[in-house]
Amino acid sequence: MNKDLLLKIDESSSGVIWITEDSINSSQSFFHEMNYLLDGLISRELIEKETIDEKNSLFFANSFSHPFFIIHHKYTTVADLKDIESNINICPKSDRKKILIINEADVSSEEISKTLKLKDHQIHFINEGTK
């Protein structure tokens, strides 16, 4: 388990955006951390469905007694990153503005920042992607 990642999630965090090139599966680099943050919800959903193949998946939990979200985005094109904004708009409004972005896709962090309009949030990248 990546304890450095877990330590970056604190009282100021509203959620995580997890960008990969594949559907959610248990062999992904940060699967266990995301599943841990959601109290095993992803594993339970994988057991029920065998695969989570949606382009965007939105999960809710509580962290530090506040609503917390994880958005998984299966990356294909830069234009598709806009779908993430729709998911963020669904999330409960919070005064907690920190969002961690785990970038495991073939897209630069600069391109993600430029595409997503998250000016009301403090963005922190965990991985810098493969570009």
Is residue 41 predicted with pLDDT exceeding 80?
Answer: yes
The whole-number pLDDT of residue 62 equals 80
The whole-number pLDDT of residue 53 equals 61
Candidate from 7-11, 24-28, 119-123 with smallest mean pLDDT = 119-123
The whole-number pLDDT of residue 26 equals 83
The whole-number pLDDT of residue 51 equals 59
Average pLDDT, integer, range 95-102: 86
Residues with Cβ within 8 Å of 115's Cβ and at least 6 positions away in sequence, in order, are 78, 79, 81, 82
Q: How far apart are CA 28 and CA 48, in angstroms?
A: 19
The pTM score is 0.86
Contact 29, 39 (CB under 8 A): no
In tens, the pLDDT along 110-120 reads: 888 888 877 77
User: 3-125 has which CATH code?
Assistant: 3.40.220
Quickly state the pLDDT bin for 129 (edges 50, 70, 90). low
